[in-house]
Amino acid sequence: MKQRRKTLPRSRPVSVVTGAAGFLGSHLTDRLLARGHQVIGIDNFVTGSVDNIAHLGGNPRFKFIQQDVTEFLFLDTRVDYVWHFASPASPIDYLELPIQTLKVGSLGTHKALGLAKNKRARFLLASTSEVYGDPLVHPQTEDYWGHVNPIGPRGCYDEAKRFAEALVMAYRQEHRVETRIVRIFNTYGPRMRLNDGRVVPAFISQALKQRPLTVFGQGDQTRSFCYVSDLIEGIYRLMMSDYDLPVNIGNPTEMTMLEFAHAVIRATRSRSKITFRPLPQDDPRQRRPDITRAKKILRWSPRVPLATGLVKTIDYFRLKVR
């Protein structure tokens, strides 16, 4: 009788997450650890926060390196996946840090791709719906090339991400690096910064402080909001898929900024009123993802309703607003 051969246990996958101390990077790190990965997080804390990863202190499967991703990345270990999330991602950040934003989108992406090439790892770029600019097509499909002002105040972020996508495709074609590109639409949830200039923390913090909610223009510009756990699940599925062209991940439920302001006031039970300010230059009038590709290829669609996600996010911000 033949003796059965013992199968060796499969070693844990090793993932590198740039921007690991950021809002999305820290949630991704949690998801990877929950899925059994060893994670090496890289961040220089320009916009990230140590608070976002403090709960991982002492975790033997998490290693943190404080470093600027635009510098050479040397890791003396096997790497299976590189998740490139490093970048300022809010209007306040990239308006104050335009050169750093352009550098992390270009040099940072180049260094992260170089690491993936050297380690023969699969690479995922966290791109953005901002590559569509102020869109002339609605909703936005991945085949739409965008309507972007390269010299406007948002150009440093928009063009950095557009360049990063082009660089990713070049590495795929010339160096045969396995690459993935996710275009992230408006996302919200715990660990957002109160003062990062994005509408969710701005509205919630104003409502919790009983201050007027600032709505730009007439409030008829639209956005769609995806809860962070849904977004991270979609991104994880994309990395593990065989698809190598851009994929929109976001929530297609669209609402005006005025509607969203009222939703926040109701959810916080605030007495806040609404005040109107002039619309910022190049602010997109409409923003909603077409997620047909994600549904078909990844079998993904968002599950968390806005009302549920807002409660979780507001509970987090209550602890931050004093």
Catalogue the active-site residues. 157
Q: Cis bond leading into 305, ω under 30°?
A: no
- Residue 215 three-state SS: strand
Residue 91's nearest CA partner among 158, 26, 20 is 158
Residue 33's nearest CA partner among 56, 67, 65 is 56
- Token pair for residue 33? 């650890």
- Residue 288 three-state SS: coil
CA distance 18 to 299: 26
Residue with tokens 């509408």, as numbered in its chain: 199
CB 314 within 8 A of CB 268: yes
CA distance 102 to 320: 31
How many C-beta atoms lie closer than 10 Å to residue 3's C-beta? 5
DSSP assignment letter at 289: B
- Token pair for residue 157? 């972020």
CB 166 within 8 A of CB 123: no
The number of CA neighbours under 13 Å toward the Cβ of 139 is 21
Helical pair 257-268 and 199-208, crossing angle rounded to 10 deg = 40
DSSP assignment letter at 21: T
Residue 185's nearest CA partner among 131, 136, 237 is 131
How many C-beta atoms lie closer than 10 Å to residue 289's C-beta? 27
Look up residue 306 and give its amino acid: L
